[in-house]
Amino acid sequence: GAVVSQHPSRVICKSGTSVKIECRSLDFQATTMFWYRQFPKKSLMLMATSNEGSKATYEQGVEKDKFLINHASLTLSTLTVTSAHPEDSSFYICSARAGDLSNQPQHFGDGTRLSIL
């Protein structure tokens, strides 16, 4: 089946640090990748949608200068949390979809737990 690899799985760093999270589709080309944020025992909140070679589309309320997304190839998207603060601590999950059709399932990475001290 389709595999999405997300790295790192856990990050603990000091306030003010910038953190980069990678999301790779290992065995398929991901036209579209999605970045979600999940708070404890809550649902997933979509942060942004990225299409290869174009700028990401951010959801309302998500700061694009804070959460930088790059989708440079059909197999790699990165999320950089710039100048992270304790309130940015959360579980970040990426997903990828193989085609352009919305009736294709999304394949998820295992998430990155970010803890800002």
Partner 1 sequence: SQQGEEDPQALSIQEGENATMNCSYKTSINNLQWYRQNSGRGLVHLILIRSNEREKHSGRLRVTLDTSKKSSSLLITASRAADTASYFCALISNFGNEKLTFGTGTRLTIIP
Residues in touch with partner 1 (CB under 8 A):
4, 6, 32, 34, 41-44, 46, 49, 91, 93, 95, 102-103, 105-111, 113
Shortest Cβ distance from residue 25 to partner 1 (Å)? Answer: 13
Q: Kindly tell me which of 32 and 77 has the beta carbon lying closer to partner 1.
A: 32
Q: In this complex, which beta carbon is closest to partner 1, that of residue 48 or of residue 116? A: 48
Nearest approach, Cβ of residue 30 and partner 1 (Å): 14
DSSP calls for 35-101: EEEE-TT--EEEEEEEETTSPPEEPTT--TTTEEEEEEETTEEEEEETT--GGG-EEEEEEEESSS-
**HSE-up (13 A, CA, CB side) for residue 1:** 8
Q: Which residue's CB is nearer to partner 1, number 82 or number 91?
A: 91
Cβ atoms within 10 Å, residue 80: 15
- Judge whether 66 and 90 are in contact, CB under 8 Å: no
32 versus 78: smaller Cβ distance to partner 1: 32
Smallest gap from residue 107 Cβ to partner 1 (A) = 7
